[in-house]
Structure 1
Amino acid sequence: MTREVRAFAVTVLTLAALGVAAGLLWSGLTPRAPYQVTERGTVLADPTTQALIAADGWFAVITGGLGLLCGGVAWFSGRRWMLPVLLGLCAGGALASFLTLWTGSTFTIGAVTVEAAAAPGVKVVPGALKLTASGVMVSWPLLAVGFFGLLEGMHGYRDSPLRQPYGGLGPS
């Protein structure tokens, strides 16, 4: 029992650490939306900007790619404790997505430049990273568990008697 708990905990903690690193990568790669400072607060300077969509896209690409990587590594390394590792992928992937969002929106990595056509005397500032499509939060756990299941299904089918004609029993 303790080995299963240890396999689960190691999987979750590993994915959580990767989530922090993914958040820093997301912060460094994603463009910031331009906001202008007014007397009522900050408003979007360019309503046609694609930076908000790009933030969602970069988040999905980074977390989805890491989900595939984690699913493959977990399947190859966790062959003795399949169920705890699979549950760890699910819980750790969800935690890693939240940590990616928190880290990326809290810390700014790299130089942030904002380009927007502003009227003279209007101050334009970069906006904080945030997700507008919250559905991309499930890309890490979904792809990790899905790829893990795909690898296990292909491996199980290869050794299955159902792969042979007549289920390995021969014609009657």
Structure 2
Amino acid sequence: MRDFAVTVLALAALGAAAGAVWSLLAPRPPYAVTGQGRVLADPTTQALIAADGWFAVVTGVLGLACGVAGYALSRRRRPVAVVLGLAAGGLLGSHLALAAGRALNLGAADVAGSGPAGVQLVPGPLNLTAHGVLYIWPTLAAGLFFALEAVAGYRDSPLRRPFGGEEPYGPLPGYGPLDR
């Protein structure tokens, strides 16, 4: 239980840092200030999609790094607790990254250009439109852990060298040193 809790808490702490990095990298969409409040100035803006892409990149890199670190640190002691911690902690970390990125709004905002003349443009809030990117971190972390475990398991497996590394029926006729 300790390995699970430590893994989840470590990934949750990384989630807040990931939110700050995402907030620095992702563009904000331009909003127009009108009598009814703020409205999206350019419905065809690519800033909404770019924010999702940057979130996927930041959490994807963290997912791969956490998968490698989790595998290296578990060293076959309690791999089930660690991989479950990677999945749960990655999901919690993604949600914390989303909350931190929304709250911080650190990056530069470029709102030039795409609004009607005479309308004040302001940078909009950072948000996700494709909520499926929240699952990138836990999927990559647990998936890479499983892949590394499979490679190590195959490398250590006796099935890799059937028959003790020798031919099952002895040397084949015509292929031995005396048959040349």
Report the TM-score when normalising by structure 1.
0.92
- Alignment partner, residue 77 of structure 1: 73
Do residues 86 (structure 1) and 72 (structure 2) align?
no
Segment drifting more, 119-128 vs 149-158: 119-128
Task: Identify unmatched segments of 5+ residues in structure 2.
Answer: 170-180
Do residues 61 (structure 1) and 57 (structure 2) align?
yes
Task: Identify unmatched segments of 5+ residues in structure 1.
Answer: none
- Alignment partner, residue 115 of structure 2: 118
Aligned-partner SS, 2:125: coil
Instruction: Note the 1:154-169 alignment, pairs <5 A.
Output: 154-165=151-162
Distance in 1 between the 2:63 and 2:124 partners? 28
Per-residue CA deviations over 1:53-82 (Å, capped at 9, x if unaligned) read 000000001001100000000000112111
Displacement of 1:164 in angstroms is 1.6
Segment drifting more, 159-168 vs 101-110: 159-168
Per-residue CA deviations over 1:8-55 (Å, capped at 9, x if unaligned) read 111001000100000000000000000101112221111221000000
2:137 alignment partner, one of 136, 140, 145: 140
Distance in 2 between the 1:167 and 1:88 partners? 38
Describe the shift of the 1:119–1:155 C-alpha distance in structure 2 as closer, same or farther (beyond 3 A).
same
Describe the shift of the 1:167–1:97 C-alpha distance in structure 2 as closer, same or farther (beyond 3 A).
farther
Report the TM-score when normalising by structure 2.
0.88
Distance in 2 between the 1:55 and 1:63 partners? 12
Segments of 4+ moved more than 3 angstroms:
165-170
Aligned-partner SS, 1:47: coil
Per-residue CA deviations over 1:120-141 (Å, capped at 9, x if unaligned) read 3211111111111111110000
- Alignment partner, residue 14 of structure 2: 18
Do residues 50 (structure 1) and 56 (structure 2) align?
no
Displacement of 1:115 in angstroms is 2.1
- Kindly name which structure, 1 or 2, has the bigger radius of gyration based on alpha carbons: 2
8 Å CA contact 1:45–1:116 kept in 2: the answer is no
Do residues 102 (structure 1) and 93 (structure 2) align?
no
Describe the shift of the 1:156–1:40 C-alpha distance in structure 2 as closer, same or farther (beyond 3 A).
same
8 Å CA contact 1:162–1:168 kept in 2: the answer is no
1:38 alignment partner, one of 25, 34, 41: 34
8 Å CA contact 2:41–2:115 kept in 1: the answer is yes
Number of residue pairs matched? Answer: 168
Between the aligned residues of both structures, percent identity stands at 59
